[in-house]
Amino acid sequence: LVPPGGTPEPGQIFESNALMLHALALGAGAAVSLVEHSPDDLERMTELFRRGLESDALIVSGGVSVGDHDLVKPALRALGAEIDLWRVAIKPGKPFLFGRAGRCCIFGLPGNPVSAFVTFLKFVRPALLKMRGASDQNLGLRKVPAHLATEVTNDGDRPHYLRGRMEEGTFAVTGRQESHALFGLSRANALLRIAPGEKIGSGESVTVELWD
């Protein structure tokens, strides 16, 4: 991963999740005390987590799946953390983790940036707002009615949160919907949930969730 402003070499990509999640956490009213990048090294990761667990919440992106370099769960368990949940039935964002260590809530987000963005909005943001004393009715994103610009379908077995642009009462999907496709996300301001097997035609009424 190459920091913004650097020049990626072959096989490298820009590191985008830290800036994105930092901004999202600030937007949810959190006071961010530590932003670090960990190499795929269990000892180094465990030490960073030890520092992070001193806060009310620890947000981790990447390393929560089952590959050889996915060390988040071993590092957390080495520190005595309890992992209450691993994997959620949504797209994008299946490899999501929630755990606890003392007073600290732990959120493990996928490494793909769009997956990290969606799981933050759906799971982390409401938790941070609740920790700050928000009422239950104010935890979710603002929902508004819209008409669909083009037909959408979900042929998968998980609910799919499509990213798109809501303007003048119409929701239009923006760009490719893969979990790494940041261009479409950068143009979006709303989510549309499509149930497994669902097809919604152009012009039909839907409810979208705004983050702008």
pLDDT of residue 177: 92
Given a contact cutoff of 8 angstroms between Cβ atoms, the answer to whether 105 and 83 are in contact is no
> Of the candidates 105, 138, 171, which is a domain's last residue?
138
In this structure, the answer to whether residues 97 and 180 fall within a common structural domain is: no
**C-alpha closest to that of 59 among 80, 92, 95, 32:** 32
Task: Tell me the residue type at 10.
Answer: P
**Residue 182 main-chain phi, psi, to 5 deg:** -75, -25
CATH of the domain at 116: 3.40.980.10
pTM of the model: 0.93
Our count of domains for the chain comes to 2
Note whether residue 44 is domain-resident: yes
In this structure, the answer to whether residues 69 and 39 fall within a common structural domain is: yes
User: In percent, how much of the chain has pLDDT > 90?
Assistant: 84
Cα–Cα distance for residue pair 175/23, rounded to 1 Å? 23
pLDDT of residue 196: 98
> Of the candidates 91, 117, 138, which is a domain's last residue?
138
In this structure, the answer to whether residues 134 and 161 fall within a common structural domain is: no
CATH of the domain at 148: 2.40.340.10
In this structure, the answer to whether residues 128 and 49 fall within a common structural domain is: yes
In this structure, the answer to whether residues 29 and 131 fall within a common structural domain is: yes
Note whether residue 118 is domain-resident: yes
Q: What is the pLDDT of residues 60-112, one digit of tens each?
A: 999 888 676 789 999 999 999 999 999 999 999 999 999 999 999 999 999 99
Over range 31-60, report the average pLDDT: 95
**Residue 162 main-chain phi, psi, to 5 deg:** -80, 140
Q: What is the mean pLDDT of the chain?
A: 94
In this structure, the answer to whether residues 106 and 28 fall within a common structural domain is: yes
In this structure, the answer to whether residues 41 and 134 fall within a common structural domain is: yes
Cα angle value 89/190/28 (rounded, 5°): 80
- For 95, the domain range is 17-138
